[in-house]
Chain A
Amino acid sequence: MLKIEGLTAEVEGKPILRGIDLDLPPGEVHAIMGPNGAGKSTLAYLLAGREDYAVTGGTVRFAGQDLLALAPEARASAGLFLAFQHPVELPGVGNALFLRTALNAIRRARGEDELDAMQFLKLVRERMRSLAMPEDMLKRSANVGFSGGEKKRNEVLQMALMRPKLAILDETDSGLDIDALRIVAEGVNALRGPDFSALVITHHQRLLDYLVPDRVHVLIGGRIVQSGGPELARKLEAEGYGFLQAAA
């Protein structure tokens, strides 16, 4: 599904990623953990197509395509979805309009029929119920005045509507209480299947109790310094990154 080889990148001349190798097969969920400043969010943004980063080396293949050659919207319609750590507020853009425009853009790119207002409303209401989202969140401007938890749920709602092949969750657990965390994890688990992969970026092992990864990678100083099974996350939670930082 996603294959990263020797990826290096910098921001304003400062190296952030120093050679990432990662192979995420279809159907698997991988977690990326690491201390602040390790390059986790840079990797997420870079994969989604943010232009603030200069790729200086390496390749990224996604579903058989050269991901780095695609515009952000083309990555999305190819099936990549980034759940933002800080969902962006869009004053004056109604959440319903935003969600419908995005969903229909993806559907059009996939050669599917666009949904009209009624079809969309039926679908979105159903998805919102399963995420325990109040319906008035459709009427408000996207993410404006949403609490931290509401913003994260709105991200998971978008993911549930778009049904991506690859979801990258960038610290989706930060700022969530335990109930919200469970709802978010269930939202992702509902999508799990042979054609769905996820890259879960997190500080804490907490989310991984509900969203059990196949593999855990530890990113420190722009490199993956260790990979392992779910037990690695528990070890990090108990011992911290100290024993790995020495190795990095």
Chain B
Amino acid sequence: MSKLAPGGAEALLRRYEGLSSRLPGARLPWLASLRAAAAAAFRAQGLPSRRAEAWRYTDLRPIAEVEFAEPLLSVTAALPLPAQRLPRRAVFVDGRFREGLSELGDNDVALGSLAADLPAAEGRLGRLARPEDHPLTALNTALFEDGLTVTVPAGIDAGGLELSHFVLAAERPLACHPRHLIRLEPGARLLLLESAQGDVATRYLHNPVFEIEIAEGASLVHVRLQQEGEAGFQLGTIYARIEAGGTYDNFTLNAGGRLVRNEIHAVLAGPEAACHMNGAQLLRDGQHADTTTVLDHAAPDCRSRQTYKTVLSGRSRGVFQGRIHVHQVAQRTDGYQMNQALLLSPEAEIDSKPQLEIYADDVKCSHGATVGALDADQLFYLRARGIPEPVARTMLIDAFLQDVVDTIAEGPARDAVATAIADWWRGRA
């Protein structure tokens, strides 16, 4: 166990101690004990240090140094939220649901604030998350104030839903830990488009945890736009469990924040389930982005695909760690993992760690990684056709990202990602 980091981790624990009686659901014994156990786990582990194997390439000291406070209650209505792109949208500000800004629709999908109906979350909250293994999940469990709960009933196609999280300007650094519970019953479908943004000048920690249950034959497409403010930290953890014949499609764009981690733990729990985890990371000078995936093939005849692409400029650093664990029972597993990085500057750095652990004997599983700079011949060819160098570079970087963006089958979600990439270019100019 690593020593408790000074400063930030202690301050976060002190907040739990001061707040625990006032946190949502404090009078529910099951939740109070869940929170107490999580706080104890966090006390024992502290913020992860680089001595922990899973955190070897990502140093959380910039977060540990900050004393975060809880967000103040705010009633501001004017938010620079992006225009709504899907029929329904749940808006969260500083980790709390804002009904007045949301548009939930009125049909058979159970959708709403976790804090508003915590008794209903008993047995569901904490079913997949592992606070004992993951300190940031422990922190989230101890301190969450709200989150989104979604249940799509059997056989229903719920269409598209946005989950928009925004952090307002604040004088003191703030931390929020939303807990989102998504459940798709057998045969249900949902497109979830998540965005995370925040005030450019505010130091904040956004530490969301998702628990995603996908029942037999259900299908969730989860597209994430991480566009946090320049001084923001996002450490997000997703736990997904996919039953027989179900599909989980995750695409994550990391295009903001100062230090971010996108950590996914997915379990293919029933035969013929599928999991696709793709993403792009666009990094400017001073940014650090880490994508860590842990995929358990725990049933036969499942299929998984992962492609992550990282573009690094200035003194930025990217990390990809991808572990695929093929259990003995998982015969006829079909797995693929690819990680590619484009280095635009000599100071940029990418660390890539694929890890395959295979205990079944009839398995098709491959992985690969490439690192390179922009191709000088391609760049010259475009310039020789009159295309100015900055435009030529943009074209080649877009081309590098093209195939991974094209993995998003849903038009509105793919457009949202393309727009976010274009916004990233504009911010850069």
Given A90-B399, A92-B399, A92-B403, are A105 and B391 neighbors across the interface (CB < 8 Å)? yes
Stretch in A69-77, A205-213, A217-225, A226-234 touching the partner: A69-77
CB contacts (< 8 Å) of B378 on chain A: these are 88, 90
Within 8 A of B (CB), among A148-167: 158, 162
- CB-based contact B386/A105 at 8 Å: yes
A84 within 8 A of B: yes
In the complex, 16 of the A-B residue pairs with CB atoms within 8 angstroms, ordered by the A residue number, are A48-B384, A49-B380, A49-B384, A72-B384, A73-B389, A88-B375, A88-B380, A92-B401, A92-B402, A92-B403, A93-B396, A93-B398, A105-B386, A106-B386, A141-B399, A162-B385
Measured CA separation A41–B60 after assembly (Å): 53
Measured CA separation A199–B384 after assembly (Å): 16
| Given A73-B392, A101-B395, A105-B386, 6 further pairs, Cβ under 8 A | A72-B384, A73-B386, A88-B381, A92-B399, A92-B401, A141-B399
- CB-based contact B399/A102 at 8 Å: no
Our pick among A50, A91, A102 for the contact of B385 (Cβ within 8 Å) is A102
Nearest B residue to A110 via CB reads B386
- Give the interface of B toward A (CB within 8 A): 375, 377-378, 380-389, 391-392, 395-396, 398-403
- CB-based contact B389/A102 at 8 Å: no
A2 within 8 A of B: no
CB contacts (< 8 Å) of A72 on chain B: these are 380, 383-384
CB contacts (< 8 Å) of B396 on chain A: these are 90, 93
A82 within 8 A of B: yes
Measured CA separation A49–B386 after assembly (Å): 11
Q: Interface size bucket, A side?
A: 20 to 34
- CB-based contact A105/B388 at 8 Å: yes
A244 within 8 A of B: no
Given A84-B381, A88-B381, A90-B381, are A102 and B402 neighbors across the interface (CB < 8 Å)? no
CB contacts (< 8 Å) of B401 on chain A: these are 92
CB contacts (< 8 Å) of B402 on chain A: these are 92
CB contacts (< 8 Å) of B382 on chain A: these are 90, 98, 102
- CB-based contact A71/B381 at 8 Å: no
- Among B387, B395, B403, residue most surrounded by chain A Cβ atoms (within 10 Å): B387
Nearest A residue to B398 via CB reads A92
- CB-based contact B381/A158 at 8 Å: no
CB contacts (< 8 Å) of A141 on chain B: these are 399
A26 within 8 A of B: no
A87 within 8 A of B: yes
Measured CA separation A71–B389 after assembly (Å): 9
- CB-based contact A101/B380 at 8 Å: no
CB contacts (< 8 Å) of A98 on chain B: these are 382, 385, 395
Our pick among A88, A92, A102 for the contact of B387 (Cβ within 8 Å) is A102
Closest 4 CB pairs of A and B: A92-B399, A76-B386, A102-B385, A88-B381
Measured CA separation A97–B385 after assembly (Å): 13
- CB-based contact A76/B403 at 8 Å: no
- CB-based contact A162/B386 at 8 Å: yes
- Among A51, A71, A82, A105, residue most surrounded by chain B Cβ atoms (within 10 Å): A105
Measured CA separation A71–B380 after assembly (Å): 10
Measured CA separation A158–B382 after assembly (Å): 12
Measured CA separation A72–B376 after assembly (Å): 13
**B270 → chain A closest CB, angstroms:** 36
Measured CA separation A51–B381 after assembly (Å): 12
- CB-based contact A77/B399 at 8 Å: no
CB contacts (< 8 Å) of B388 on chain A: these are 73, 105
- CB-based contact A109/B386 at 8 Å: yes
Measured CA separation A114–B340 after assembly (Å): 35
